[in-house]
Amino acid sequence: MAYEVASIPGDGIGPEVVDAIQPLLEDVSSAFGVELEMTRYEWGSERHLQEGAMMPDNGLDELAGYDAILLGAIGHPDVPDHVTLNNLLLPIRKGFDQAICKRPAILFDGVESPLEEYSGGDIDFVVYRENTEGEYADMGGQEHPGHNHEVAVQSAVFTRTGTERIVRAAFEAATERNGKLTSITKSNAQAHSMVFWDQIVEEIAAEYPEVTVERLLVDAASMDFIRRPEEFDVVVASNLFGDILTDIGAIITGSMGLAPSANINVSGEYPSMFEPVHGSAPDIAGDSVANPLATILSVAMMLDHLGEAEASDALWAAVEEQLADSDAPRTPDLSGSARTEDVVADLRTRI
Ligand code: NAD
Ligand code: IPM
Ligand code: MN
């Protein structure tokens, strides 16, 4: 099958990685007969600096017809983050109803966790992050700088539809995994939104008696991700809490450079988007040492979403095999000295 994929490499290490993995994608195409026809969009902060906008006004219309979107990363030291992200990445997630964000946290064989007592296979959970509303709802905040009593208001919006769909998706995932769901809130302080969330979890839990439900407050959950990560199976959280927790999930499983994600369109009308959890990493950008595996695993999630399970499994397995091989090249985030291209070249031999 052939698929039309919009590629938005973006900023910093985004283009380094997206460019480096192209030959690997061609290998997957020829090995499995899955043609990923990539159309590249040079949208991002350089465009903003030159033309005053991250993407064209009709950017979303351009993307709407694709089968999927692959995104590198967005963020530039010379442009404020709220400008770059609110004018490219977040409008795609919101505009294309990508309400379900799946972020696996897996400690692969051969990868060292900073939690020294854990080794390959000991940590394996997935975070279902609400992805279009909650604390990221753009309600047009109010700021009154310069007044005697300055105030900034940033509202969070939790709709029944939005909350039900992420919670239900997480329960479904739990039935296909190990039957455990952890719902993470801050209902002790945020009485409105989070108590509403808790109620919805309780209602939907009644439909899934076979799933064990645990409720945690986000502060305690942050601790437990480190203290007892092996006990998590499916974790469901709001947009902001899911964002924060998935960086913890990434580092306890070895590196930001290994964590993939899928932003799934729930209306069936628009493409889903696949991107690493990490950002543009300005501290290593330009050095060609970014770990490409988070983006490669995101492509594996894309292939799976497109129904190409065989190609997806093969790509995923090639990454697992490489990480388990102590002689294989590793980038510096995994304590190696290899460059991005070396990791890709080695993976090509494993497809
Ligand atoms: P970051 O994820 O870019 O980097 C955090 C740390 O992880 C850095 O030390 C970085 O070197 C390391 N790292 C990240 N990806 C890596 C990889 N593939 N290989 C090796 N090391 C890697 O987070 P940050 O520094 O907070 O953000 C940098 C910029 O990226 C900011 O502008 C931020 O807003 C943006 N950002 C964008 C996205 C996105 O586009 N999806 C996600 C997160 C952050
Ligand atoms: C992520 C990122 C984004 C988010 C930022 C860059 C807006 O941190 O994808 O995890 O918060 O969703
Ligand atoms: Mn994040």
For the cut 90, the answer to whether the pLDDT of residue 349 exceeds it is yes
Does the predicted model carry a pTM greater than 0.95? yes
Longest dimension (CA), the chain: 67
Question: So what's the pLDDT on residue 149?
Answer: 72
Nearest CA to ligand 2 atom 5: 85
Residue 237, CA distances (Å) to 150, 243, 292 in order: 31, 9, 27
Residue 57 burial (10 A CB sphere; 0-12, 13-18, 19+) = exposed
**Residue written as tokens 């539809």?**
161
237 alpha carbon to ligand 1 midpoint, in Å?
21
What's the 322 CA to ligand 1 centre distance in angstroms? 23
Cβ atoms 123, 229 nearer than 8 A: yes
Give 140's pLDDT tier (boundaries 50, 70, 90).
low
CB-based contact 8:42 (threshold 8 Å): no
Pocket of ligand 1, candidates 131, 256, 340: which has the most ligand atoms within 8 Å of its Cβ, to mutate?
Answer: 256
How confident is the model at residue 207, as a pLDDT?
Answer: 98
Distance 240 CA to ligand 3 centre (A): 9
Domain edges within the chain: 1-111+256-351, 124-252
CA distance 74 to 279: 6
247 CA distance to ligand 2 middle (Å): 10
Q: Of 136, 304, 342, 346, which one is the catalytic site residue?
A: 136
What span, in angstroms and rounded, lies between the C-alpha atoms of 181 and 15? 36
How confident is the model over 44-58, as a mean pLDDT?
98
Question: Given pLDDT bands bounded at 50, 70 and 90, which one contains residue 144?
Answer: low
Closest atom, ligand 1, to C-alpha of 72: 40
Q: Report which bound ligand comes closest to the CA of 285.
A: 1
The predicted structure's pLDDT at residue 138: 77
**What's domain 1-111+256-351's superfamily in CATH?**
Isopropylmalate Dehydrogenase (3.40.718.10)
Tell me which H or E stretch contains 101: strand 100-106
- Give the integer Cα–Cα distance in Å for 200 and 234: 17
Is 97 in the active site?
Answer: no
pLDDT at 191: 87
Substitution site in 85, 86, 128 for ligand 2 pocket (most atoms within 8 Å of beta carbon) = 85
Write the DSSP string, 264-324: E-SSSSS-EEEEESS---TTTTTSS----HHHHHHHHHHHHHTT-HHHHHHHHHHHHHHHH
118 noted as active-site residue: no
Would you say residue 152 has pLDDT above 90? no
- The fold of 124-252 is Isopropylmalate Dehydrogenase (3.40.718)
Tell me what the mean pLDDT of segment 279-284 comes to: 98
